[in-house]
Structure 1
Amino acid sequence: MIPPKPPSRPDRVSLRRYARLFRQDILSAQPARLYRAWMAEFRTPFFRSYLMNQPELVKTVLKDRPADFPKSDRVSEGLRPLLGNSVFLTNGETWKRQRRIIDPAFEGGRLRETFPAMWDASEAAAVRLPEGLVEIEEQTSHAAADVIFRTLFSIPIEDALASAVFHEFRAYQRSQPILNIAAFVPLPRWMPRFFRRDTRASAARIRALIAKLVDQRAKEIAEGTAPDDLATKIMTTPDPETGETFSPEEMVDQVAIFFLAGHETSASALAWALYLLALFPDWQEKVAAEAVALKDCDFAVMSKLPVTRDVFRETLRLYPPVPMMVREATCPERFRDRDVPKGSQLVLSPWHLHRHERLWERPDEFDPARWQTENGKTCGRDAYIPFSAGARVCTGAGFAMVEGPLILARLLRDARVSCAEGRVPIPVAHLTVRSKGGIWLQIGKR
């Protein structure tokens, strides 16, 4: 049984049709040959871009020479209204300064310190999970948002302000793709960027709500009553080189990306993981058996969930939440005997790399056991980038690999999931890889 993936377009289509397909869904807008290609060039009268699947090329761009291939400014075209000048979008010295302030909050023992908040969120998610026919993406979005608010601001999702951010973000999530056509079309810098009116308005409302949370925390810090959570840590950490902390506006930018990266991506992965376990009940039973160990809030319990962790890793392989990343060549290059002009867009696609037919054994199959094989271990090192890689690897990667398996196991300790008849989810790329029409499952008690 092969889990669903979107259809591919024919190899040759007109630019007009490609643009139309791209606006509908960037995954199904790509040709099937990309699952075998080491490198592919997209050339039009207006722009040139290159998709890179060869592990050596991916390593060059992300790990060996990241300064030569900064994040493309075009990625920010669609996300700037929400994310402002956040660490997800910046480059150069600005990005380095932001990482110097943010990274200490996620180092070493901080995962242990945030674990009780994750535990409480997983318990709450298990209690909330209804029986019967359920759209599971809504449930996982709720759970992942709860984790973010508890770990970042020490408030549960039920808090009025947290709840308002969550519901506003749900509306935004469906209206804005992670990449828009501007990521590939080199519009002149002077040309105004147009966004859907509801998308821009929703982004403004989210930022206004986040600003209230930041203002409240700033007052608590000043009064000496702030809890020792991620927000306090980040807001009080000075840049070791300049001694400056984030301004309130900068903190709003960073909280926006924490919410996007920490909530949206985890919600996507958890929903697909539950669907895959409904599709493969033998693996579901293995996860449920491990979940019996979840009795007390103790970080050490994570070592008792190796199968659940492999299930989550396999889900991230098949359905990477961020399916494509774009870098820009700052100088002329030559890759695989092709001249790559300065300014070219370099597309790194976890979606295609993770399913590459010349790298992975049975690339479209769901098999968590592959991570213990030689092929799985090799590809895990060379062809697996759900959190990016190199200097710009996601700060919260370790956080996500605790949160995901914990919530997945906790839900399946009490619940049994099965596929809903006639409802096969089709992956599409919105802010993350979600399903067109949601993911519907039958939920029962275990």
Structure 2
Amino acid sequence: MRPPKPPSRPDKVSLWRYLKLFRQDILSAQPARLYRAWMAEFRTPFFRSYLINQPELVETVLKTRPDDFPKSDRIREGLRPLLGESVFLTNGETWKRQRRIIDPAFEGGRLKDTFPAMWAASEACVARLRGQVGQVTEIEEVTSHAAADVIFRTLFSIPIEHEVAARVFTRFRAYQREQPLLNLAAFIPVPRWVPRFHSRATRDNAAQIRDLIRQLTTERIARIEDGTAPDDLATKIMTTADPQTGDRFDTDEMVDQVAIFFLAGHETSASALAWALCLMAIYPEWQDRLAEEAKALDDSSFSVMSKLRISRDVFREALRLYPPVPMMVREATCPERFRDREVPRGAQIVLSPWHLHRHERLWERPDEFDPSRWQTENGKQCQRTAYIPFSAGPRVCTGAGFAMVEGPLILSMLLRHFRFERVEGRDPVPVAHLTIRARDGIWLRVVER
């Protein structure tokens, strides 16, 4: 069988039908032609949106002229209750200042420093899963727990069992089911001056998450001041000064940044890991190869990552088929001309990793799972020009390197100890919440190796 994929709607539907589909799931609301189109236009009475798949246009927006295509305010408003003015949402000089302070914490050398915490979280995940051997288990819950554990251990040097960490995790699970990453304002005729209304549950969960993060941040500031703070990511970020101004993040700014670290570092990794395990259950021959490779984990040093090549390619392929963030929206700040079309100032430019990664005119066998593709000429070419699970250009995810260590490590650790098997009649259907998740969960049988 092929990897699970949501159904596509007919190429032409009424605006009302489109909006109804969109509210249910933005993936299945899109027409099948987007998997082969270089560009598509969506018109509403108030503005226009353009989805671009042509690699040259994607490069223009993300790499060549990113300042001309800032993040759309329409998308920012949807996530502001949780993320405030985090680096994920800001633009211009504010964003540049934030990246100057954050980026040093994720430089190559720091990955080696955080590896023991990732290893400990991986072992803890194995220990938790032992109690579910022989059972049919909801895998997204397993990977969410593991990814949250990694974030808290690497960011604040506390395990997920810590009282505050556990409460953040519980609240965030509720939040991510309530709040889609893209709200309707990105595509439907809503003027800029109309306020974005959020449900009471969304507002309450976001407020409680931020209160808990503030508690952790305030405690860390006190430990930094008295010289007892551990040398983890939170300490590194909170003690790093902007090289241009000498400023550091204050408490409010740090709460915003920790919120996006948790979203980007936990939610996205959990999604990718869950789909990787699903794919392993569908393709047991690849699962066996990866499990054999995982014997290298007798070595617990950072150097073991160079031996997990199959795991890295499997995780990379899972990110291709199920990019955690399915769509990104930018805004044209001046009139443009793309593919002989006039793009007016203020138009929404939609970049869709979901469609780009499965584009029929770019990838060989785009809907098939094949980790070996990354060693082919087509795979190498597409990786350079049509593969953006972490975005690209100046706004590439600062934790991309972090994720490419965490994902293969946890995947290998789990497959070293367990086999994951499909459950007949319960194949998942991808939908978009904060990230690409399964409509009714990913249910697999866990078997001890």
Task: Tell me, yes or no, whether TM beats 0.5.
Answer: yes
Q: Confirm whether residue 100 of structure 1 aligns to residue 100 of structure 2.
A: yes
Where does the alignment leave 5 or more consecutive residues of structure 2 unmatched?
A: none
CA–CA distance in structure 1, aligned partners of residues 300 and 262 of structure 2: 24
Q: Which residue of 1 aligns with 2:179?
A: 176
How far does residue 186 in structure 1 lie from its aligned partner after superposition? 5.5
Correspondences of 1:284-363 after superposition (within 5 Å): 284-363=287-366
How far does residue 267 in structure 1 lie from its aligned partner after superposition? 0.2
8 A Cα contact 1:86 1:253, kept in partner: yes
Select the residue among 237, 252, 257 that pairs with 1:254. 257
- Could you report, residue by residue, the CA deviation over 1:387-426 in whole angstroms, capped at 9, with x for unpaired residues? 0000000000000000000000000000000001110100
Select the residue among 208, 228, 231 that pairs with 1:205. 208
Partner SS for 1:293: helix
Partner SS for 2:120: helix
CA–CA distance in structure 1, aligned partners of residues 210 and 49 of structure 2: 33
Q: Which residue of 2 aligns with 1:7?
A: 7
CA–CA distance in structure 2, aligned partners of residues 161 and 198 of structure 1: 20
Correspondences of 1:57-68 after superposition (within 5 Å): 57-68=57-68
Q: Confirm whether residue 79 of structure 1 aligns to residue 79 of structure 2.
A: yes
Correspondences of 1:5-44 after superposition (within 5 Å): 5-44=5-44
CA–CA distance in structure 2, aligned partners of residues 442 and 56 of structure 1: 43
Runs of 4+ in structure 1 deviating by more than 4 angstroms, as ranges, are none
- Could you report, residue by residue, the CA deviation over 1:202-248 in whole angstroms, capped at 9, with x for unpaired residues? 10010001000001101100110000000000001111111110010
Q: Confirm whether residue 70 of structure 1 aligns to residue 77 of structure 2.
A: no
Q: Which residue of 1 aligns with 2:446?
A: 443
8 A Cα contact 1:39 1:51, kept in partner: yes
Q: Which residue of 2 aligns with 1:135?
A: 138
Partner SS for 1:22: helix
8 A Cα contact 1:353 1:383, kept in partner: yes
TM-score under structure 1 length normalisation: 0.99
- Could you report, residue by residue, the CA deviation over 1:343-370 in whole angstroms, capped at 9, with x for unpaired residues? 0000000000000000000000000010
Q: Confirm whether residue 266 of structure 1 aligns to residue 279 of structure 2.
A: no
Q: Which residue of 1 aligns with 2:397?
A: 394
Partner SS for 1:134: strand
8 A Cα contact 1:77 1:182, kept in partner: no
Where does the alignment leave 5 or more consecutive residues of structure 1 unmatched?
A: none
How far does residue 11 in structure 1 lie from its aligned partner after superposition? 1.1
Select the residue among 159, 164, 186 that pairs with 1:156. 159
CA–CA distance in structure 1, aligned partners of residues 194 and 49 of structure 2: 21
CA–CA distance in structure 1, aligned partners of residues 196 and 274 of structure 2: 33
CA–CA distance in structure 1, aligned partners of residues 269 and 116 of structure 2: 18
8 A Cα contact 2:6 2:430, kept in partner: yes
Select the residue among 382, 385, 400 that pairs with 1:382. 385
More displaced 10-residue stretch of structure 1: 17-26 or 391-400:
17-26
- Could you report, residue by residue, the CA deviation over 1:246-274 in whole angstroms, capped at 9, with x for unpaired residues? 01000000000000000000000000000
Q: Confirm whether residue 111 of structure 1 aligns to residue 111 of structure 2.
A: yes
Which amino acid in the other structure matches residue 71 of structure 1? K
CA-based RMSD of the aligned residues comes to 0.8
8 A Cα contact 2:44 2:189, kept in partner: no
CA–CA distance in structure 2, aligned partners of residues 2 and 290 of structure 1: 24
How far does residue 108 in structure 1 lie from its aligned partner after superposition? 2.4
Partner SS for 1:23: helix
Which amino acid in the other structure matches residue 314 of structure 1? E
Aligned length: 446
Which amino acid in the other structure matches residue 20 of structure 1? K
Partner SS for 2:446: strand
How far does residue 296 in structure 1 lie from its aligned partner after superposition? 3.3
Partner SS for 2:337: strand
Partner SS for 1:292: helix
CA–CA distance in structure 2, aligned partners of residues 222 and 187 of structure 1: 47
Q: Which residue of 2 aligns with 1:124?
A: 124
- Could you report, residue by residue, the CA deviation over 1:84-132 in whole angstroms, capped at 9, with x for unpaired residues? 0000000000000000000000012000000000000001011111211
How far does residue 189 in structure 1 lie from its aligned partner after superposition? 3.6
How far does residue 440 in structure 1 lie from its aligned partner after superposition? 0.1
TM-score under structure 2 length normalisation: 0.98
Which amino acid in the other structure matches residue 305 of structure 2? M
Partner SS for 1:168: helix
Which amino acid in the other structure matches residue 147 of structure 2? A
CA–CA distance in structure 2, aligned partners of residues 198 and 223 of structure 1: 38
CA–CA distance in structure 2, aligned partners of residues 150 and 112 of structure 1: 14
Q: Which residue of 1 aligns with 2:56?
A: 56
CA–CA distance in structure 1, aligned partners of residues 298 and 161 of structure 2: 24
Partner SS for 1:85: coil
Q: Which residue of 1 aligns with 2:226?
A: 223
CA–CA distance in structure 2, aligned partners of residues 269 and 24 of structure 1: 22
8 A Cα contact 1:77 1:183, kept in partner: no
Q: Confirm whether residue 233 of structure 1 aligns to residue 236 of structure 2.
A: yes
How far does residue 74 in structure 1 lie from its aligned partner after superposition? 1.0
CA–CA distance in structure 2, aligned partners of residues 192 and 418 of structure 1: 47
CA–CA distance in structure 2, aligned partners of residues 9 and 302 of structure 1: 42
How far does residue 75 in structure 1 lie from its aligned partner after superposition? 1.1
8 A Cα contact 1:328 1:343, kept in partner: yes
- Could you report, residue by residue, the CA deviation over 1:129-181 in whole angstroms, capped at 9, with x for unpaired residues? 12111000000000000000000000000000000000110111100101010
8 A Cα contact 1:387 1:397, kept in partner: yes
- Could you report, residue by residue, the CA deviation over 1:25-82 in whole angstroms, capped at 9, with x for unpaired residues? 1000100000000000111223210000000000010010001111111111210000
Which amino acid in the other structure matches residue 288 of structure 1? A
8 A Cα contact 1:177 1:431, kept in partner: yes
